[in-house]
Amino acid sequence: MGLIEGQVAIVTGAANEVTRGIALRFAREGAKVVLVDKDDEAAQAAARPIPGAEARSADLSDPEAARALADAVVGAHGRIDIMLNGAHAALKWDRLADRQGAPDFTAAFNDVLLSAINMMQAVYPHMKAAGGGRIVNLGSIYGPTANEGVTDAVTMDFALTGLTRSAGVEWGKDGILVNFLQPAVPDIAIFADYRAKKGKSVDTLIANMAMPRLADPVEDVGGAAMFLVSDEACFILGHRALADGGQHLTAAVFEPGAQR
């Protein structure tokens, strides 16, 4: 039997390769996975290769849509044990001074923060009635390191950290454990394209990381998510977990006397 055999897991942001990797890991460990995306085609495509997975589409920035989704999943499967908020907005890669005000942040707030808030509120009564559940909010590696040009991602990571901690305080007594997972740069198609364009400069950055490789969405990120939703993490609450191979530990060294 798998670690979450028979449990029902909602995974949002199905268009994201990292999220799909986590969903596959959940399914491998016995969960019934419901993959959700605003784009129905993306949800269907994500669900196809995952055994037993189900696809649903919804604009989760709308609280009514989030509630309807949670109710529909409970109606179909009788329960919601796991909620992984994996929706991500496309990064702008612009410096803060060059951004066009609110419009440049609207997608991040709506697709990431509001969607997470709405889904957490939607699954809460079902999890409370069942005596507990697991919620994992998925962020990025940019929050811990505050990289240049990704203000939207950094801001969202700090907002999700606060949301996770606040919900942990309020919902821990109901047996609902909420945690925040920040994975490293993943080994996915979009990064492979970027790496091919940039060449050796990216290879050098990877070589200088504590663990000199990219994250596997299923084994590395999925494994960390799996731990957080399993019984092994039954006393972990409001925690920020970094599944990054130590990526947040390393930085450029400009000391002329440093020896390697």
| Residues 100, 242: Cα–Cα separation, whole Å | 31
Q: What is the pTM of this model?
A: 0.92
- Residue of 252, 153, 159, 160 whose CA lies nearest to 207: 252
Render pLDDT for 145-197 as a digit per residue (tens, 0 to 9): 777 788 888 889 999 999 999 999 999 999 999 999 999 888 887 777 877 77
Taking a C-beta distance cutoff of 8 angstroms, is the pair 101, 148 a contact?
Answer: no
Confidence of residue 251 (pLDDT cuts 50, 70, 90): low
Q: Is the model's pLDDT at 250 over the cut of 80?
A: no
CA distance 115 to 109: 8
Q: 6-20 pLDDT, tens per residue?
A: 999 999 999 999 999
Contact between residue 117 and residue 156 where contact means Cβ atoms under 8 Å apart: no
* Fold annotation for 8-242: Rossmann fold (3.40.50)
CA distances from 167 to 47, 125, 174 (A): 29, 13, 11
Mean pLDDT of the chain: 90
Work out the pLDDT band at 252, boundaries 50, 70, 90: low
The one-character DSSP state at 183 is E
Is the pLDDT confidence value at 258 over 50?
no
Name 178's Cβ contacts closer than 8 Å, sequence gap at least 6: 120, 135, 136, 137, 164, 167, 168, 171, 237, 238
Relative to beta strand 32-37, strand 133-138 is: unpaired
Domain ranges (residues) in the chain: 8-242
